[in-house]
Structure 1
Amino acid sequence: MFAPNFSFEQEQQFFLDIQQSIENQSFDRLILSQYKGELAQLEKMTFRQIDLQGQATLSCLYHYPTQDMTKNYSIDEGLEKIAELLSQSKQANLFTLHEDVQLKKNKKKAMLSRQKKQAEATKIEQQHNREKHRYVQQQSPFLKHLGITDEKGQVIPSMARKWKQINKFIEIFSNAYEQIDASQQALNIVDFGSGKGYLTFALYDYLQAQNKTPLITGVELRSNLVEFCQQVADEVGFNHLDFFEGDVRSYSPEKLDVMIALHACDIATDFAIHTGIRLNASMIMCAPCCHKELRPQLKSPEVL
């Protein structure tokens, strides 16, 4: 287990509390704030423990003024990163199932305080944690830009079904992704019929959190949606996410690892499948559209 060298006794005890809570599976989350290190504009860091492909993992959400970034670490790597960031932060809050621990530092001393939790509150929090496991971080800035969450990062009630759909899509993708060559760093992905980009943005965010380099293009016929999505991508810092005005017949990628076509209208899904096969895509995700092909064939009775 990683063992850092601390200058403050209270800071050392706080770090031991983190280690112990992880070892006894009572760790909920850790928030490091008032950061004074070399990472420009970094405001705070939130660590949580997640299960990633069967491995216990420490996931850190780095909060910046204009965007958030997620990085995942093994337990030992995560503890090493926590020790580094803890020494550069003036306040830290550890939340466990049994108590909340706060560390405050100034130039002269470090102060450690504890608050025990009631048994009933612990039980409720355990249930809450199980229910809240998501593949996409609810605080991700792109969700606010797309109208999924409000200014406080809460899911807007009318968008609850879309939020559920986003997480289900990433869950399906992650399970399929494990079956292809997951060792490659860069992934070339095309989403035909990307629409407003809900799933396209979520996929980019998820892969970035897996320390991959997603090279994603959303292809969409409606120019207003292309312009909107490209503006959001630029604002949230998704530098390798681009949007193209056209369809599967007008956009021809040179390389394709993952091809996505969800409800592409009429026979566009067939063209998309052909493109994926022709370019030897490792993964093809499709859900065909039927209404524009079948509806013209439906003949109403004379009485109607």
Structure 2
Amino acid sequence: MTAPAAARPSALPVAELAGTLPAAAVDAVLRAALLEDAPYGDITSQTLIPADARATAVLAARVPGVFSGGEVFAAAMKLTDAGADVELLVADGAAFAAGTPLARVRGNARAVLLAERVALNLVQRMSAIATKTAEFAALVHGTGARITDTRKTTPGLRVLERYAVRCGGGANHRFSLSDAVLAKDNHLAVLTGGDASRLTAVLQDARARLGHTTHFEVEVDSMEQIEPVLAAGVDTIMLDNFSLPELAAGVALVAGRARVEASGNVNLATVAGIAATGVDVISIGGLTHSVAALDLGLDIELEPVPAPDQTAH
């Protein structure tokens, strides 16, 4: 993996990232994950670890990357031990080298061990997404193209995964089906019954029934669809699986009448060329649906027991 520290463009400032991950959503994810992982408690720790034992654990990077999920790590530890002391050593959105300590927690040993796997699973995934997004963002830096995610997220984890995309310098597409209109090929097939001559009319009718603040985007898969879609007054036109020459021709044809989004066949080898065609947005499902967890570890050390006072009588 290419270390992002050298090439990564500036993402959102830390001040802007702070507080953008809803605490209630984080709590809901963590409670569900802990219920799954320890439905009747952690019998290993309850059997082996004294109830009053204390521990210090350091979240450490085994590989370079971009950090995301500090709040999640802290919340996981505090959910199992409200009195835990969590110190975040690296800010979300910051690049780090292998071996970097990312966070430190001090608390009840059983509680730290109970939260360990849930915290690691989530932070490893979030940091992997941030790292992958940063690699894409670096490759289009200076072109004006925006890297965005899609709805191809892990069920139940969308709020965390999309936050991780922002940590990596990307932006978010519509959060859900309720947020914006995005008419894709299957919608258009149903609407037009295969009659391409009806495309403008059916889209205009749909547009007329929308509120004035609702964004309207339409996906096209051929050059011939661009003008009929633009004639309906859409906000964004998605050019799906277009070749580079087709993308450039599509951007020229749109000529600023709508925002142009490119989708399909986007990877680290193709994204720079796609951005160079002049598109405004490049959406990439792979930011969230196919990343491998970043190698982070939690190194736990029990606090030493004080030696008996030999001078006591």
- TM tier relative to shorter chain: under 0.3
Report the structure number with the largest CA radius of gyration: 2
What TM-score, normalized by structure 2, do the two folds share? 0.27
What TM-score, normalized by structure 1, do the two folds share? 0.28
Higher relative contact order (CA 8 A, sep 6+): 2
Give the structure with the higher percent helix.
2
